[in-house]
Structure formats: structure tokens, C-alpha cells
Amino acid sequence: MNVIRHENKIDAAVRSENIKQRGFVLWFTGLSGSGKSTIAAEVEAELARLGFCAYLLDGDNLRLGLNANLGFTGADRDENIRRIYEMAALFCDAQIITLISAISPFKKARELAREKIGAENFCEIYIKADVETCKSRDPKGLYAKALAGEIAEFTGISSPYEEPEQPDIIIDTREVSVGEAVKIIVAYALEQELEFLLRKVLEDSIYAAFDAGKAILEIYERDFAVEYKDDKSPLTEADKRSNNLICERLNKYAPYIDILAEESADDKKRLENKFCFIVDPLDGTKEFVKKNGEFTVNIGLAYKNKAVLGVVYAPCLNKLYYAAKNCGAFALDLSKQIFKLFDADTRIKVSDKTDGLTVVKSRSHSDEKTEALLEKHKHRIKDTADMGSSLKGCMIAEGAADVYYRFGYTMEWDTCAMQCVVEEAGGIFVQGDWSDMLYNRENSLNELGFVILNRIESRLD
């Protein structure tokens, strides 16, 4: 053989970074009339709406062009699938989310497709419907022709379909609607794109926080009424307006990411979702009422109950903190710096101090237990600072403080965004009993308090 493979100068990692996504293949298999093409087309459209580059290669369309010279014998069917998976492998290497809708009736051909593309990049989706159901639908009139003997080698009638034994996803279209199928498949796709999804969501979350901050300041600069909730915490027009603005913007990602927001009704269906936004539209309402500027807009994202994204924006201070899992933590003074996502010059990290510590305390939630702890360890403490809202954790993230103990109750939305910022800056964030803090829980109350440290050696208790 006188053909030698030529290696490209750039690899998949470079392409992935350039296009800001990872390529993989969603392979839809099933009988004619099962709903493959309908569902695949809707999935492609939804991925595009969410900002991803996706392309559907439909088996019928390919037989009108690339595979027009092939029939329906066993050998031709195998060659048809071979050409499709060879092309899909190229699309995948180009980092396109590639959707294949093809009957692909033979198990061996599908196994070869998985092998060629790579198991880590291949999702076999069985669009399940029995022959009787497909015959009753018969959208193209093909079953009627096959039963009349007008079409030879027709899958399900005169040619076999070998059902997948262990597909990655099964969609039984006798029971599952197109909309439900799309939700299942897109949710799977988003998990494959987690790294790049976080970047897209992070930018949207930051601009949502900016919009909310603008609305909050409009109210802050004039007189406003203060209500009190059942737990005696204050509530203002700013809390409500900010909450509505943020949720409206984040709903772009519905139904794949649910929302737990302080001023919205808690829809417990979120517990079934691996993703959940955790939103505090105005953290530090007491500081807002006092007009001392120490309040923030907090937008966090939990995935599998862990904080993986955080945005903390202090509109009065023109200060923005943000972080995403494995991407680092960043802070900038918007009165002096222009926002640019993941700008290395704005990256922050915790201090390395273990003595001469700066301890932050809540300006509005002081307690005797905290004061006793600080008195006991005063020989290690150089300074203390009172601060409102999530700014306390952010101070530790940027090295301006080192320790924060909170013994009182808080809620998930008080801590989620801040925790991601702290952890991505290299800090430690745990519950008061030193267990992991989890999110998107049945009970949103943080009952055990929490501890934030720059280093484990700075522990005071």
C-alpha cells in the first residue's frame, strides 16, 4: 500500500480550545418510523440554541449524496455505516457535536462505529419502537410498500434489526414524548460539555449579576420600603426585582438547569436534576437597608451537589469575584479594570499565612461563640475585620483575610457562589463539623455553620 498517513500540526485539544467545546457523537439507532430523525433534529436545534456547534448527519440524506451508489444488501448496509462513522469520526475530531440518525441495524457495524470514534466520544441512543408501532405510524409509507413486496430487504419486515444490548440511552417513543426525549439527550450532552458549559454559564451569570446590580442601585439611591419575612429577615423591592431579573436570564438554560433562588418558590423537582443554580439576589439585605454598601449579588451553580461556579458582585463597591471549577478564581475592580473572562492578571489566591492571621466577622450576625473562639486564639490573630454578605469569603479568596468561622444558620444561597470562589482560590470551605458542604438539598438550611480558611494550618478550633 502506497498511502502514508499525514499528521496534522494541531491536535484535538487545540481545536477544542479554539471552538470552546468538545466533540463527541450521538448515534441514534432504531427502526424506520421510530422517531430517530425527528428527535435528532430537535436535539441539534436545542444544542445550537444553547450556543454549541452541532451537526446532524441523517441516513436518508446521506443516501441521496455520499452513499447514493449503495443498495440495501447486507454488504451495502455495512458499507453505508462504515462511511457514516468514518465521516462522524472526522467531525468529532474537529470538535463538532455530531448527531447520526441511521437505522444501523447490525450490532457489529455499531460496534465498529464505537471503536472507530472512541468509546469515550460515542453515545449509542436506541430510539425504541416495535415494528407494529412503526407500521402504524409509517410516515413515509415504506412499511406498506415493504408488506406489498415493493421494497426488498426492508429492516423489520424482510431484513433483521439487531437491538442494542447495552445502549447508553434508551428512548422508548411509545412512552416518551419528543420533548421529554430531547431533555434527556441534551442533559447528557451538557454533562459531556461540562468544562465548556461552565464557561458559557459563567459569562451569562456575570452579566445577569450586572443587570441585577444596576436594578438594585436604582432602588438603593432612593427611599424604599422594608418588609420582614417569617424569619425576621428584611425584604425589599430590590431583592424581588433582582431575583426576577436573574431568574429570567438564567431560564435560558431551562429545563436542563433548575433554579433555587431565595425569593422564588422552591420547586422540589430540582432535586431530580444534577444541575441547579443557587441564587441569592441580594445577599446582605441588612447592609443594603443600612446603606453601607456591603451587599452582593450571588449566583452559584451546583453539579452533583457540589459548587462548581460562583459569581459574587458588589455593585456599590464596583467589585466582581467569579470562579468556575478547575478554572481558578478572579477578582476585579470595575471602576479601574475592564472585564475580560479569565484574565490572568485578575486571578486571585489565598494567602499562605498560618500566624498573624486576619479574621473576618459578620457585621450583622455577631455571636458569643465567635467572640470566645477569637479570645482563645488571640495570640495567633493579628487583626479582625467586620464585613457584610459574601464579601467575607471573597476577602479570604483574594488574600485580604485568612479565617472566617460562622456558627449561626445560613442558607444554600448564602454560601454556594462564595464557596466556589474560595475553593478555586485555593482556600478551604467546610461545614462546622468539617464535612463537605453540599447543595441542591431537600433542606436548604445550612444547620451546621461553616468554616473558611486560607490553609488547614490556620484552623482555630
Distance separating alpha carbons of residues 283 and 394, to the nearest angstrom: 13
Distance separating alpha carbons of residues 253 and 368, to the nearest angstrom: 43
445: three-class secondary structure by DSSP: strand
Look-up of cell digits 452559584:
300
Q: Which residues pair with 428 in a beta bridge?
A: 453
Contact 402, 358 (CB under 8 A): yes
Nearest to 60 by CA among 33, 86, 42: 33
User: C-alpha grid cell for residue 414?
Assistant: 448564602
Could you count the other beta carbons within 10 Å of the beta carbon of residue 449? 18
User: C-alpha grid cell for residue 239?
Assistant: 431583592
Contact 199, 324 (CB under 8 A): yes
Distance separating alpha carbons of residues 304 and 275, to the nearest angstrom: 7
User: C-alpha grid cell for residue 67?
Assistant: 452513499
- Set 32, 34, 37, 104: catalytic member: 104
Distance separating alpha carbons of residues 166 and 164, to the nearest angstrom: 6
Catalytic-residue membership of 104? yes
Look-up of cell digits 441539534:
44
Sign of CA dihedral 362, 366, 367, 371: positive
Nearest to 390 by CA among 241, 231, 304, 278: 278
Active site residues: 104
